[in-house]
Amino acid sequence: MARSTKVRFKGKPSEILEPIEFEGYTIKSLRHGVTGHVLYSYPSQEYEWEDCWGMDLETAKKSVLKFKEAQQVQSSQA
């Protein structure tokens, strides 16, 4: 007969960090409670400019620049 064991969660709550302003766009950031990694929220071209989370700030900044360019192209075509 198998014993039922109680599993305890060993992580902490995620911590919301100060947002980063870059080129007029606010990049949200947080420290993950389980892994301790810092994550950044930024628009992703891969997901049709929906926000996604990643661990690299430089990638976030590049994506913001691409997002701004796409907005400018779209507004000039309208």
Identity at 58, one-letter amino acid code: E
pLDDT tens, the chain, 78 aa long: 567 788 787 788 999 999 999 999 999 999 999 999 999 999 999 999 999 999 999 999 999 999 999 999 888 886
Place of tokens 């989370």: 53
Q: What are residue 52's DSSP bridge partners?
A: 42
Q: How many Cα neighbours within 13 Å face the side chain of 28?
A: 10
pLDDT, residue 65, reads: 96
Tokens of 14: 């995620």
SS3 state at 77: helix
pTM for this model (two decimals): 0.81
